[in-house]
Structure 1
Amino acid sequence: MTEALDAGPFFHGTKADLRVGDLLTAGFPSNYRPEVVMNHIYFTALPDGAGLAAELAPGDGAPRVYLVEPTGAFENDPNVTDKKFPGNPTRSYRSSAPIRIVGETDDWTRLTPEARQTWRERLAVLRADERGEIIN
């Protein structure tokens, strides 16, 4: 486990309608590779990073960004830190323990429809590329 770079606050983006006190857990399909069941729950210290995840999450609900707190140990997300960026500039983390919803924020930047489409196209390319594996 690597040392996390900060202590929060932390955010999680989704289209799920959640309440304060709800726990988010691992064991669900990846938003980016639905055939992969995730061993971790992911979160970030950047509200706009959580907003991006919310915008790209599957489902018909409105994108939402929640303030969360880890209930156990967490580590830097190796999918973006070790593979793509030295250090952790995206301030992205993951935990095998649940994270608890402590609030919701609307202080994040929404994507334009064009930007959302560009991200969806990028994800489609990653899904088709065998090298775009998820470190689970």
Structure 2
Amino acid sequence: MEGLFLPLLLMLVVAIPLIMGTRKQKRMMAEQQELQNSLAPGDRVMTTSGLYATVVDASDTSTIDLEIAEGVVTTWLRQAVRERINPAVDEEPGADEEGDTTASADATRSEAEDGTTSTGPQVAPPLEHGKK
């Protein structure tokens, strides 16, 4: 009986991390599958190659149409979508519910004329990946 204790203990020490790793991998695969199935037009996503795009058509089961620039729509496999990006909502405290954008557009123009801000292309903020 004593001769079996050490080999059994060694097998447990090796088997437990393998089982836990497999469970974690299955859970992450299920989350990724759920994300890919829940995509809808208008969602902002990032592909596995790091390309930011907006979902245009998600009606097909295996492919998805992404708009990578204004008027440029490309077709990708759903598996290429890595994550959904939640756009930062920048609302001014003084803006009314109807979304008065003329005042903010005028303010942006005057700031650009002063040279205090850049009017270049909009760039998505970098992602902050948390440890899972």
Q: TM over 0.5: same fold?
A: no
Taking structure 1 as the reference length, the TM-score comes to 0.25
**Which one has the bigger helix percentage?**
2
Taking structure 2 as the reference length, the TM-score comes to 0.25
For the pair shown, which has the larger CA radius of gyration, 1 or 2?
A: 2
Q: Bigger relative contact order, structure 1 or 2, given CA contacts below 8 A and separation 6+?
A: 1
